[in-house]
Amino acid sequence: IGERLAALHHDHAEGFEMLLGDSQPIRTLKTRAQRVAALDAPLLIHGETGTGKELVARGCHALSARHNSPFLALNCAALPENLAESELFGYAPGAFTGAQRGGKPGLLELAHQGTVFLD
């Protein structure tokens, strides 16, 4: 019985195992993120570099109805501006010099009902 009670009171944040810490702000973040993950709506996560935005996004994806679909991340800072459009939306065969022979699907198409995380 003691183990059952402990399991019931255990604050397990499935999908957020990589978010370390037990401070009040971390607990609040996990609680809010779990609530937001249940929504079928776009999510904006903001924060300083290195604060775990992608971990929160992955956790929300894991707890969402989209969890069986892909989670695709794109580091926009590392992407040359002239390639952003083709990375996100893809391109048709022969769209530009150096394009792949058969064209290329974009991240938004590849995600197909999943999650695209733009960092």
Give the model confidence (pLDDT) of 9-50 as tens digits: 344 445 788 888 889 999 999 999 999 999 999 999 999 999
- With vertex at residue 43, the alpha carbon angle to CA 114 and CA 109, rounded to the nearest 5 degrees, is 30
- The residue among 58, 89, 84, 59 whose CA lies nearest residue 72 is 58
Tokens of 59: 């956790």
Q: Is 80 helix (H, G, I), strand (E, B) or coil?
A: coil
Spatial distance between the Cα atoms of 87 and 76, rounded to a whole number of angstroms: 10
Give the per-residue pLDDT at 48. 93
The pairing of strands 90-91 and 104-105 is: antiparallel
Handedness of CA 24, 27, 29, 35 (dihedral sign): negative
Residue 32, pLDDT score: 93
More confident residue, 71 or 6: 71
Q: Is 108 helix (H, G, I), strand (E, B) or coil?
A: helix
pTM (2 d.p.): 0.75
* 78-107 per-position pLDDT tens digit: 989 888 888 999 888 877 777 777 788 989
